[in-house]
Structure 1
């Protein structure tokens, strides 16, 4: 029996070391050498201070900024650890709400969001990504339509001409990968930084 057990244990230990330690360390090292900024989290700096990541959305609540998609992430309730409270863009709790299309809570939230957005721009249809959450709750991008929908509000609050704000959106719009994969998108953090910089 020992003759059968020993090779199995040696093989298990060897594969565990290779696939659980050697391979992940090698890939991390290679990624850090070839793509150092991406391997470090695609951090975005302004004036030498890290202000976010190009890969993770942030909660921009001020009317002076473009807003991202709604986020369904949560955090433990400080008053009762057995409950959770809304914590938009909480990277330690990535995930969707798990509310289905027949959920009254989901329907009420979407209706409220649509009504609020319609009040800020009644002339345009509300883009879907401004009222629906992503699967991760951390999506950093919105569609160009969602960014353009917000232009009148941002321009009015900042006292800027709408054409200038539209030009910022156009400058920050990223095309499809290789021209065919995915959709056009606008990174909300990059757009808001460009807005603050007046570019």
Structure 2
């Protein structure tokens, strides 16, 4: 019995060292070596200061900025430590009410806009961290952003187009616009 326990303990320590220390160190080291920006969180800097990550959404509420998808994370929006959706299905009255309130807020921010509201700017993503919106969601907001910034709507559309990423590998996913990068491009254009 003593030999069996000793062998089990040795195996436990060996596997802990390999799978709990060595493997994560090698994989993490290779990640930092080969993909330094992504492994470091894809941080975005402006004027030497970190302003966010291109992988995690942020809350923008000023009329002169594009707004991203709502976040269902708690206790704060876009909380990377609490990635989750709302778990509210389409028949849930709470989701219906939340969407109605979000649509009302969008309409109040831009009363002249009578276009249909794209679904992705009134519903949270599965992770609650989505940094991107659809080109339709960006187009919906062009008028409000242009008016708030006293910019030509055509110039704002050009910035949206310049910041629109196509499908990955030409076939995967949908075209998308990173909200942080677009808003930083807007700030740079205003300088």
TM-score computed with the length of structure 2 as normaliser: 0.92
Q: CA RMSD in A?
A: 1.5
Partner of 1:81: none
- Within the candidate set 68, 77, 100, 1:111 is matched to 100
Q: What's the CA shift for 1:63? A: 0.7
Partner of 1:35: 35
Q: Distance in 2 between matches of 1:35 and 1:144?
A: 28
Partner of 1:173: 164
Answering whether residue 43 of structure 2 is matched by residue 70 of structure 1, we say no
TM-score computed with the length of structure 1 as normaliser: 0.89
Partner of 2:51: 51
Number of residue pairs aligned between Structure 1 and Structure 2: 188
- Within the candidate set 118, 122, 145, 1:131 is matched to 122
- Within the candidate set 78, 83, 108, 1:89 is matched to 78
Partner of 2:180: 189
Partner of 1:79: none
Q: Distance in 1 between matches of 2:59 and 2:5?
A: 55
Give the unaligned 5+ runs of structure 2. none
More deviation in 113-122 or 175-184? Answer: 113-122
- Within the candidate set 131, 137, 142, 2:133 is matched to 142
Partner of 2:13: 13
Give the unaligned 5+ runs of structure 1. 76-86
